[in-house]
Chain A
Amino acid sequence: NAGVTQTPKFQVLKTGQSMTLQCAQDMNHEYMSWYRQDPGMGLRLIHYSVGAGITDQGEVPNGYNVSRSTTEDFPLRLLSAAPSQTSVYFCASKPVGQGNIQYFGAGTRLSVL
């Protein structure tokens, strides 16, 4: 059971470039979310989804887009990367209405130059 898988693990971008951070889970969880972790800031919610076709904004959504076409996948898109988006990104999932524990992926470390 792979759990939550994030790719890539590391990425370096130039300002203005676009990219997609991939997240996949094999636990059939309806709820998926994206967080960013910055030094001294903890984890902050970017976007989340309670099921296929349903997404919503979190605490820091600006500069990021998401879509949820399947239960398994929840990609995070940076349309025009900025140095302020240099961070470690974590994807998480949990079943809706059952329990409160979110399961996290290993993270993607992104540097925007």
Chain B
Amino acid sequence: DQQVKQNSPSLSVQEGRISILNCDYTNSMFDYFLWYKKYPAEGPTFLISISSIKDKNEDGRFTVFLNKSAKHLSLHIVPSQPGDSAVYFCAARGTQGGSEKLVFGKGTKLTVNP
């Protein structure tokens, strides 16, 4: 059973426009959410995060929105740049057996066209 879902495998946007990446989760016990960015042949790198007690976190061009009632979060990139082309993973932190773990979605490949 997939606890973190990214239903769009890919997204293509024009440079300068907004990119919106979506993520849904099923476990209401998740208390922290993160977005990671991954370029080919590299490891994932942390992009932005949000605590479950907040509904928005902004860092430059990147904003993450959390809707707890809908169990949904989204990443907005404004304006999108060609260098943003990468795979974006949504991750949620939960605690199981006293240990915290990250659960990842399958990722969304973003392509920003010049």
Where the two chains meet, the residues of A that have a C-beta atom closer than 8 Å to any C-beta of B are 4, 6, 35, 40-45, 48, 50, 56, 58, 90, 92, 100-107
Give the segment of B60-68, B69-77, B78-86, B99-107 that binds chain A.
B99-107
| Secondary structure of the B contact surface, majority rule | strand
B114 CB within 8 Å of chain A: no
Q: How far is the CA of A4 from the CA of B42 in the complex (A)?
A: 12
Q: How far is the CA of A13 from the CA of B34 in the complex (A)?
A: 34
Cβ-Cβ contact count across A and B, 8 Å cutoff: 52
With known contacts A44-B104, A50-B99, A101–B49 Cβ distance under 8 A:
yes
- Chain A proximity of B14: nearest CB distance (Å): 26
| Secondary structure of the A contact surface, majority rule | strand
With known contacts A100-B49, A101-B49, A4–B99 Cβ distance under 8 A:
no
Q: How far is the CA of A106 from the CA of B45 in the complex (A)?
A: 10
Q: How far is the CA of A50 from the CA of B100 in the complex (A)?
A: 9
Q: How far is the CA of A101 from the CA of B33 in the complex (A)?
A: 10
The answer to whether B102 touches A56, judged by C-beta atoms less than 8 angstroms apart, is no
Of B4, B45, B100, the residue contacting A104 (CB under 8 A) is: B45
Q: How far is the CA of A100 from the CA of B34 in the complex (A)?
A: 8
